[in-house]
Chains A and B, each alone.
Chain A
C-alpha cells in the first residue's frame, strides 16, 4: 500500500510531464504520450491519472492564462514536484538493479 508507489501508466504520465516541462497541459501531454507509446491515450483515463498523482503529491498544477482558442477555457499546467522526482528515480533505480541482476545466460538466445 505504499504511498510511494506508482503504476506504469502513471510513470509514463509523470515522465511526459517532465519532458514537456513548462508546456505540460492536457492535450500536449496526451499527444506526447501517444507519440512515445505509439498508441491512443484516452483523455479521461489520463486525467484521472493526473488527478491521482497530484493528490499523492508527485505533481502540482496551476491554471494558465485565458486564450482565444479552446472556447476561452484556461489550461491547467502540470509540473513534477521534488517528491515526484524522487519516486521516478526510485523506479528507475529498481529497474537498473533488476537489469544488473539478470545472469548473462538468461538472455543468451541462439538464433538460426
Chain B
C-alpha cells in the first residue's frame, strides 16, 4: 500500500460534487473520494488529480444525483408566487414605464413574427415534393456572339431524354412546356383558361401534386391525355367527377385522365391543365431529339450520390456529340443544374424564366433575418436600459429583502422571473399586434399570411415560447445582476451614493441608435433605389399603353381593326409586336456583311409593326424608322439599338447589309436605323443588343394601343367595342404595360415596403426607450433644473444642457453606424445593373433625422421640467 499523503483534493470539484450529490450519500462518498485521492497522491499527484476528476464525473449519474423534487420545489413555488406578485405590483405602480417596456418588446416581437411568417412562406416553396432534394432544373449559360451572357432556365426538347440516357447519375427526367392562356372548348362552351402546360408522364412521379381522381402512374401516357385542376374542372364542367370527359384545345380533342388539387401558391410551377407532352411529339416525331431551340424547362431526378461537378465536366462532350455545327457549340452553351429550392429563391440572375411563379430574391431573406435580430436587440436594449435606470425605485426592496435574509442568487432569480413575466406579457400583446396588422401587410405585399400559421405545429409554438423565455432571460440578465448586487447597508441608508454615470447604459443607447440609424439610412437608400428604377428613363413610353392579345381573327383582321381604332379620338396610336417589352426578347441568329465577310451574331430580336417606334416613343439616333413607303421594309429592313451598333463596330451602321441568320448570304436586307438604348428587359439587367424588323405576315402576338391618359375608362370601352366588332372567336384580353413593368420589380418593391415598416418601427421602439430614459434622467436632475431656473437659466439653455449627453451619444452612434451601413448597402445595390450611387449626404440626413427625433422625444420632458415651478422640485430639500 502506498504512503498516505495529506494533500487537499481540488476544492472546486468537491464543491461541484457536493452540489449534485444526494445529501444521504454525500458524507461517505466524499470520504471515499478523498481517501482514494490521498492514496493515489502518494505515487503521483497529477495522476491523482486526473483520476479524481474522472471519478467525480462518473459520479454524475442517476442514483447519486440528488432529487430535485420534493420539499425544495414547494418552497420555490411559494417564492415564485411572491416574485410574480411583487413584479405585478411594480408593473402596476409605474404604468408608464411598464407600457414602454412591454410595448417596445411586443412591437419587436410582432415584427419578428411577421418576418418569420414571411420567411417560412418563401422557404416553403416546392417543399411539398417528396423528392425535393434530388430534383434539379436544367439551365444554360448562353454566350452568343453579339449578346450579353445570359443564364436562362430554358432547355431544348432533346436534352431531357438524351441526357437521362447518357448520364448514369440521372434517374428520371420530365419536361415542362408552357402554352400560357388558351381557349378551351367543351361542347359549345368556349372558355379561356390560363396556365396550360404539357409535361412528360414522369412529371407526376417526380412532383407530388395530389390527385383527387385518376391514376397518377398512367395519367399522361397517351398523347391526348390531360389532367386538370379542381378549380378548372368546376369552371369547365361545373362538377369534379370529370374523368373521361373531353375538351378541345387548338383543334385537338383531349381526354381528362386525372383531377388534381389546385396547384398550391407555393409551387414555382403553376398549371390549371396539364397535357401530355406527347401532344407535341404527335405533330413532330423528331421532338424528343430536337436540339437548337430552347423553349421548355427540363427537370432531372438525380440519384443520391450524384456529383454535380463531375457531371458538369462531361457536359461539353455531351453537347458537341448532339449538336453538330461548324463552330464549337461549347462556346455558346454551358449547362448547369439548379437544385429545386434554388429555383424560387436563387433565380434572380436567370432570364427567360417563364415558369417561376412569384420568383423571389433569396438574399432578401437573410436581410429580413438580420432586421428581425436587430429589432429584437433594440427592444431588449430598451428593456435593459430602462430597468437598470429605474434601479433606484427597486433599491429599497432589494435592501429589505437582503436584510431579512435573501441571498444574491435569490434576488437574481426574482428579477429574471420578473423579466420573463414581462416578456410573456409582451408575447401575448405581440400576437395581438400581429393579428391586427397582418391584413394590412398582406394587402401591401400580396401574401396570405395568417396568424394561425404560428400555432400550426407544436414545433413553432415551442420555438416561440422558447424564444420568449430566452429573450426574457437575456434582456433581464444585466439588470438582474445589477439590482441583486446592491449592498443593503448602502441602499437602505439612501440610494444617492449609487447614482453615478453608467458607461454601460450609455453604450447600450449608442448600440441602439447605431442600429436605428443604420435602418433609417438603409430605408432611405432602398427607397431611393426603388424610386430610381421606377422613374428611370427606360427609353420608351410605358404609360397608358394597353396590351391586347391577338389570336385567331384578331391577327387576321389586325389592319382593319387598327384603322378602326385609330378613328377613335381617345386612341393615340396602335402598333403590334411578336413579343412584349419588359421580359427580354428572344435571341435569334443574325448576320451582317462586314468588309472581312459575313459575321454571325445573336442579338435579341423582335418583329414589330411599322409604327412601333412612334407609338413607344423610341428615339432614333441615326437613320430612319420603318415606313410603308418602302416595300422592302417588310422583312428586309432592320433597326438596331445603340448597344448592337457598338457591338458591330461600324462607324455608321445605317445602310450596312444584314439579315436573319437563315437568309442566304446573297439576299441580305439593310440596317436602316439605330435607336437609343432602351430597357426592353428589367433594370436588373444591362441593355442587351437588339435588332427590330417588320414582318406583317408572321402573326403578331400582341397589339399595343396608346390611349388618352385623361380618359382611360372611355378609351378602354372604345377598344373593347371595336375589338368585339371585329373578333368573335376569342374574348378580349388586355393588360396595361406599366402593370406588367411593375411586376418585374415586385420582389424589390415588397422588400422596400417591409424594410420601411420595420425601420419606422425600430425607430419608434428606440424612441420609446429614449423617452423613458430621458424622463428618468431628468427626474434625477430635477433639483438641478430647479436651481438653475432659480438662478435665471432660460428654457433654451436648460434644453441644451440636458440634451447634450444624448446628442453626444447619437453622434457616436453615427460614427459607428456609417461605415457598416455603407458596406451593407453597396453590396445590396450591386444586385442591380442600374443603381444609384450612395450619396454621403444621405447619412447626414439620416443622422439629422435621428437627432431630431431623439431631441424631440427628450425635449418633451425637458420642456416640462423647465416650465415647472422650481418651488415644487426644491420644496423638500
Contacts and interface: CB of A to CB of B under 8 A. Distances in A.
B58 A42 contact: yes
Contacts of A51: 25, 63
B25 to A, nearest CB: 7
B191 interface: no
A74 B63 contact: no
Contacts of A45: 58, 61
B58 A70 contact: no
B34 A70 contact: yes
B28 A63 contact: yes
B249 to A, nearest CB: 74
Contacts of B27: 63, 73-74, 76
A47 B29 contact: yes
Contacts of A74: 27-28, 31
B59 interface: yes
A58 interface: no
B29 to A, nearest CB: 6
Given A26-B28, A43-B58, A73 B63 contact: no
A19 to B, nearest CB: 18
A26 B34 contact: no
A92 to B, nearest CB: 27
A60 interface: no
Contacts of B35: 26-27, 69-70
Nearest to B54: A42
A44 to B, nearest CB: 4
B454 interface: no
B55 interface: yes
Contact of A73 (B28, B55, B60): B28
B4 interface: yes
Contacts of B58: 42-45
Contacts of B34: 70-71, 73
A94 B6 CA distance: 47
Interface in A2-22: none
B261 interface: no
A27 B34 CA distance: 10
Nearest to B35: A70
Interface string A31-48: 000000000001111011
A49 B38 CA distance: 24
| Residue among B9, B28, B58, B60 facing the most chain A CB atoms (10 A cut-off) | B28
A75 interface: yes
A85 to B, nearest CB: 24
B29 A26 contact: yes
| Residue among B6, B38, B55, B63 facing the most chain A CB atoms (10 A cut-off) | B63
A65 B31 CA distance: 12
Contacts of A63: 27-28
Contacts of A48: 61, 63-64
B438 to A, nearest CB: 55
A25 B55 CA distance: 17
Contacts of B60: 44
A43 B28 contact: no
Contacts of A69: 4, 6, 35, 38
Contacts of B61: 44-45, 48
A44 B35 CA distance: 15
Contact of B25 (A30, A47, A52): A47
A43 B25 contact: no
B52 to A, nearest CB: 11
A76 B64 CA distance: 16
| Residue among B32, B33, B34, B59 facing the most chain A CB atoms (10 A cut-off) | B32
B28 A76 contact: yes
A71 B59 contact: no
A43 B31 contact: no
Nearest to A72: B31
Contact of B59 (A30, A43, A52): A43
Nearest to B22: A51
B36 interface: yes
A69 B9 CA distance: 13
A52 B59 CA distance: 16
B25 A70 contact: no
A43 B32 contact: yes
Nearest to B25: A47
A75 B33 contact: no
B30 interface: yes
Interface in A47-86: 47-48, 51-52, 63, 69-71, 73-76
Interface in B18-73: 25, 27-36, 38-39, 55, 58-61, 63-64
A71 B37 CA distance: 10
Contacts of B38: 69-70
B55 A43 contact: yes
Contacts of A70: 31-32, 34-35, 38
Nearest to B6: A69
A44 B6 CA distance: 23
Contacts of A44: 55, 58-61, 63-64
A48 B28 CA distance: 13
Interface in B822-854: none
A71 B30 contact: yes
A30 B33 CA distance: 12
A73 to B, nearest CB: 3
B218 to A, nearest CB: 58
A47 B64 contact: yes
B64 A75 contact: no
A42 B51 CA distance: 11
A27 B36 contact: yes
A48 B299 CA distance: 61
Nearest to A42: B58
Nearest to A26: B32
Contacts of B36: 27, 43
A74 B29 CA distance: 9
A7 to B, nearest CB: 14
B33 A43 contact: yes
Contacts of B28: 25-26, 63, 73-76
Nearest to B36: A27
Contacts of A27: 32, 35-36, 39
B17 to A, nearest CB: 11
Contacts of A43: 29, 32-33, 36, 55, 58-59
Nearest to B1: A31
B22 to A, nearest CB: 9
A71 B26 CA distance: 13
Nearest to B60: A44
A30 to B, nearest CB: 8
Nearest to B4: A69
B62 to A, nearest CB: 8
Nearest to A67: B31
Nearest to A52: B63
Interface in B163-222: none
Contacts of B64: 44, 47-48
B840 to A, nearest CB: 67
A69 B31 CA distance: 9
Nearest to B63: A48
B61 to A, nearest CB: 6
Contacts of B32: 25-27, 30, 43, 47, 70
Interface string B56-93: 00111101100000000000000000000000000000
Given A27-B35, A47-B64, A73 B4 contact: no
A2 to B, nearest CB: 21
Given A27-B36, A44-B61, A71-B31, 13 more contacts: A26-B29, A26-B32, A27-B32, A43-B29, A43-B36, A43-B55, A47-B29, A47-B32, A48-B63, A69-B4, A69-B38, A70-B34, A75-B31
10 contacts: A43-B59, A44-B64, A45-B61, A47-B25, A47-B32, A47-B59, A47-B63, A48-B63, A69-B35, A76-B27
Interface of A: 25-27, 30, 42-45, 47-48, 51-52, 63, 69-71, 73-76
Q: Which 6 A-B pairs have the closest CB atoms?
A: A73-B31, A26-B32, A76-B28, A48-B63, A70-B35, A71-B34
